[in-house]
Structures are given as C-alpha cells and as structure tokens.
Amino acid sequence: MFHITELTGDKPEEHHFCDFHAREYLNESSHSSDSVSSDGLAAALADSPVKKNPMTKLAAELQAIDQQICPVCGISFYDFRNRGRLGCANDYDCFAKQLEPLITSIHGANSHVGKSPAGGGCQACGSSQLIKLRRDLDIAVSEENYEQASKIRDEIKKIENS
C-alpha cells in the first residue's frame, strides 16, 4: 500500500494506492510540471522487486484469489470482497490465508479471547470437532489401532452427551 500526499494547493491531498494504481498515478502525474515530489516515489516503485511486467503477475494472482469458491455455500472471494460478508462458517477455513491478515488488523488477534454464550453457544465448534474425531476414528480402525480407536470413541460420546 502506498500513501501519497500532494502539497499542491492550500490543503494537502492524500491518496492511498495499491502498487498497481500507485504506478499508474505516478505515470500520469509525471507528465505534469508539478510532479517533482513524486519522482522519489516513482524511483522507489521502479526499484521494487517486481520489475518485469508486474501488472500481469499481480493481476493474475488477484484473479486467482478472487476465483476461489467455497465448496459448501458457493461464495467466491470476489463476492466476499464486494459484499463484505461471508456465506457460511466454512469460508473461514476456505479463505483462511486471505482472511487472517484482515481479521488480525481489525481485531488485533486471530483467535477468540472473549466470553462465550451460556449453554454452549459454540455448536459449530463441537460439530467440527466431531467430524475430525470421526475421521480419526476411521483411520485408527483402518490401521487396526483399536486402543486409540476406543479413546477416540470415548471422546466422541463425551461430546455428543454434553
């Protein structure tokens, strides 16, 4: 992210750009006579590690990210970016790589540290844990590790009864 402040009028004008749009903005403003202050930033952008046709590479990466689709609800990452809402709880796993920095920047952490509702309000946590335990149980049985399978079975019963 690039923050460009222009001091051309009475008030400073602030602009916030991604790498692509900062290059575009500086290329447009470099043709005017007022662009002396943008030359240093243009040089910094020119020295950035992405030199050979960075727009193509960046655009391809963004397009690939935007086309990721949740297999449960069918929402794409592009839809999330436009709406600002996820479609289901599975989206946190599906888009984890993209959401983690966003959640951390908004909340200051990426894990829940507050109170939980009375009466076990986190049913999704229990059901996802059950899914994992049942999968582990199947693996333990297929590997004929019956001692481990019995421990997992007991954990599943404990969760189901609570």
| pLDDT for 125 | 59
> For residue 144, is pLDDT > 70?
yes
| pLDDT for 53 | 56
Percent of the chain at pLDDT exceeding 70: 70
| pLDDT for 38 | 43
- The Cα–Cα gap between 57 and 63 comes to 10
Query: pTM score, two decimals?
Result: 0.39
Domain residue ranges of the chain, discontinuous segments joined by +: 1-29+44-60, 67-107, 123-161
| pLDDT for 39 | 46
- The Cα–Cα gap between 57 and 90 comes to 29
Q: Is residue 5 within a helix (H) or strand (E), and if so which, with residue range?
A: strand 2-6
Mean pLDDT of the chain: 75
Q: Select the more confidently predicted residue: 136 or 124.
A: 136
- The Cα–Cα gap between 84 and 78 comes to 10
Q: How confident is the model at residue 71 (pLDDT cuts 50, 70, 90)?
A: confident
